Chains A and B, each alone.
Chain A
Amino acid sequence: MASVKKAKTESIAREKLVEMLEKMLLIRHFEEASIKAYQQKKIAGFLHTYIGQEAVGVGTLAHKLPQDAVVTTYRCHGLYLTLGGSPREGMAELFGKVTGCARGKGGSMHFFSKEHNFLGGHGIVGGQFGIGIGAAFKSNYDEDNAVSFIFFGDGALAQGTFHECMNLAALWDLPAIFICEDNQYGMGTANSRAIANTDIASKAEGYGIKGYTINGMDLQEVHETMKKVVHETRTTRRPALVHMKTYRYFGHSVSDAGLYRSKEEVDTYKLQDPILMAGQTLMENKWMSEDDLKALQKKVRAVVQDAVDFADESPEPPVEELTQHVFRDEVV
């Protein structure tokens, strides 16, 4: 495909690239399965998929160390899976089952993993910035050399919390990386209608920190640039702002038909599909054959099917759970 550029291959070892491709495939298939299950009415409420944006999370979190923390929006399944969250527990959460990663109490918007310091998917736009800088604050408090990854959508740039938390992070040298997943629409509102200055990285200047702009459809560019950004934040303790230009192929959520954008626009981005591009790079370099790719897809499909079966067969939370986990310390 003409628009698929030949990617730089030197910097990423074959194994790493295959591993990241596998994660992106897992997310893609997981999300496709979730849409199908939604149509079958096995999933309800909101469902915001990560399809199209996979390279952002996968390329960035390749640099996460165990002590680092991650927080994001309601579009949270992809990051959860990237970090190693169990596909079974993720799907079970979507199905509202007690075996889910939040015991069926959080649902699609609230995936969590304590093991991976995944501090959640959050449902209020901009509500997670404080959590992210709080994790960075804790790292300085305990001197554990962690960084904090804060993912958010372009829609959150208009919220006060973005600016408050950028200010606090810069003021106090909090090692937080603000990653704007700019899929160009805050629900149905194009960001040119919501943000006064759409050169998002330039907002870093106002806080005296560095800003970066990255093609979020290009896994290798994300991976390489974020390696530098993460290293810099980890060593200097200065926050950074990263503008990831990306795109979601589906609507804001499954109930959104996406009538505010053209089919041509969507198709243009599909030509730059991160999975397509990464697979092409691997094959061009003869690091992977078409058969290898098919085998990888088959493996991932089996993992997702297993997750769906697990979710299907799992029980709902017992009614006694209704009033559990309101408090850790129950006052009698």
Chain B
Amino acid sequence: MAVTEMREALNQALKEEMTRDEKVFILGEEVAEYNGAYKVTKGLLDHFGPKRVIDTPISESGFTGLAVGAAMMGLRPVVEYMSFNFSLVAMDQIISNASKMLYMSGGLFNIPIVFRGPNGAGPRVSSQHSHNMESIYAHFPGIYVMSPSCPADAKGMLKAAIRCNDPVVFLENELNYGLKEDVPDGDYIIPIGKGDIKREGKDVTIIAWSRAMGFAKQAAEELSKDGVDVELLDPRTLKPLDMPLIAESVKKTGRVVVVEEGHFFSSLGAQVSESIYSNLFDYLDAPIARVAQSENPMPYAANLEAATLPSVSKIIQAVNQVTYRN
């Protein structure tokens, strides 16, 4: 156990899994000689050599397709997108090929690939580098979707993703790479589908993941000063959702706020809310409140960027709404 940055925790997971299984390799833009645009792959080229740590041209559709073919023939690729926005260029490969292959081949060809990289808004990068892709990939059967909010989870979840025999979309966040905390050494695995309570509380459940969990934590601190006891639930795996954990928490608090960076309409948060309404309606004491990005592309201007994203004050306002305070 040592205090470790998120990028280093991810690096440990990659290094350990590549050491454990020589079929695992990583490819993507700048992953090798540049040591990763965000240094997640730092040192891997020196350690494993160019056969297994591969710089690609700017050719997402091509190298993603390559990974699908390699996976069909028995390799276990990890595909890094420098930004998940660039996965849009490769979406036909991820959805039409990777996610459907096992099914349309009647069970003959499974696709053990991890598609990973930073998701969501970076700082001041405007409209085309700031998409949140979770609801899009989660829509299609045949892909697992995971998104860690802290270094320890990042390590344990990425190791589980690499060992999975199916496609996993693994969504990191640029602004979380520098987060630090204790990370367990060695074989630390967080199974796909297991959420986590990040803070126990009895008054209201805030469900959030990835960077939104950071805002939720701050909001919980503020609210505790006012005597509101917030429970923080991180689903960690976004598809499938850990419904038993969500049910346990909702039954306890009866009040839910869902926080996400993605847009409001047709989002993962909308799905979380629907799952709660359909399965746990009788336990709710108030309608669910949702905090999400407003319905506009990401603007460049600092004030507008701040206005569109979830924030501590928006979360506090939502908690006030579901607890009928003020």
Contact = CB atoms under 8 A, between A and B. Distances in A.
Give the most central of B51, B69, B104: most A CB within 10 Å.
Answer: B69
A123 B66 CA distance: 17
A56 to B, nearest CB: 21
A168 B62 contact: yes
Contact of B165 (A117, A122, A171, A329): A329
Nearest to A67: B73
B75 interface: yes
A106 B61 contact: no
Interface string B281-311: 0000000000000000000000000000000
A141 B108 contact: no
Contacts of A167: 57, 59, 62
A133 B92 contact: no
B69 A71 contact: yes
A321 B110 CA distance: 16
A326 B106 contact: no
B144 A102 contact: no
A102 B108 contact: yes
Contacts of A2: none
B65 A131 contact: yes
A325 B109 contact: no
Interface string A96-134: 000011111110001011100101101110010111111
B173 interface: no
Contacts of A141: 25, 51, 70, 75
B59 A328 contact: no
Nearest to A114: B108
B72 interface: yes
B62 A161 contact: yes
A134 B61 contact: no
B69 A114 contact: no
Contacts of A112: 104-106, 108-109
Contacts of B191: 331
A332 interface: yes
B85 interface: no
Contact of A135 (B69, B107, B240): B69
A127 B103 CA distance: 17
Contacts of B74: 138
A106 B93 CA distance: 17
A119 B65 contact: no
A139 B73 CA distance: 9
Contacts of A328: 102, 110, 165-166
Contacts of A131: 65, 68-69, 72, 97
A40 B61 CA distance: 40
Contacts of B96: 122-124, 127
A164 interface: yes
B164 interface: yes
A160 B93 CA distance: 13
Contacts, number: 151
Contacts of B68: 130-131, 134
Interface in B123-151: 141-142, 144
Given A69-B73, A129-B65, A130-B97, A105 B104 contact: yes
A106 B142 CA distance: 15
B84 to A, nearest CB: 19
A71 B73 CA distance: 12
B107 A168 contact: no
Contacts of B110: 328
Given A112-B109, A122-B97, A332-B193, A106 B104 contact: yes
Interface in B45-71: 51, 56-57, 59, 61-71
Interface in B227-266: 237, 240
B73 A117 contact: yes
B111 to A, nearest CB: 9
Contacts of B102: 325-328
Interface string A3-19: 00000000000000000
A168 B68 CA distance: 14
A296 B75 CA distance: 42
B62 A165 contact: yes
A214 to B, nearest CB: 25
Interface pairs A-B: 8 shortest CB-CB: A130-B65, A134-B69, A103-B106, A164-B62, A102-B106, A131-B69, A138-B73, A328-B110
Interface of B: 25, 51, 56-57, 59, 61-75, 92-93, 96-97, 101-110, 141-142, 144, 164-166, 191-193, 237, 240
Given A105-B106, A141-B75, 12 more contacts: A69-B69, A105-B105, A127-B92, A127-B96, A130-B65, A130-B66, A134-B66, A134-B71, A135-B72, A160-B61, A161-B61, A165-B66
26 contacts: A105-B106, A110-B105, A112-B106, A112-B108, A114-B108, A119-B69, A120-B101, A127-B65, A127-B92, A130-B62, A130-B65, A131-B68, A131-B69, A133-B66, A134-B68, A134-B69, A135-B70, A137-B66, A164-B59, A164-B61, A165-B66, A168-B57, A325-B105, A328-B110, A329-B192, A331-B237
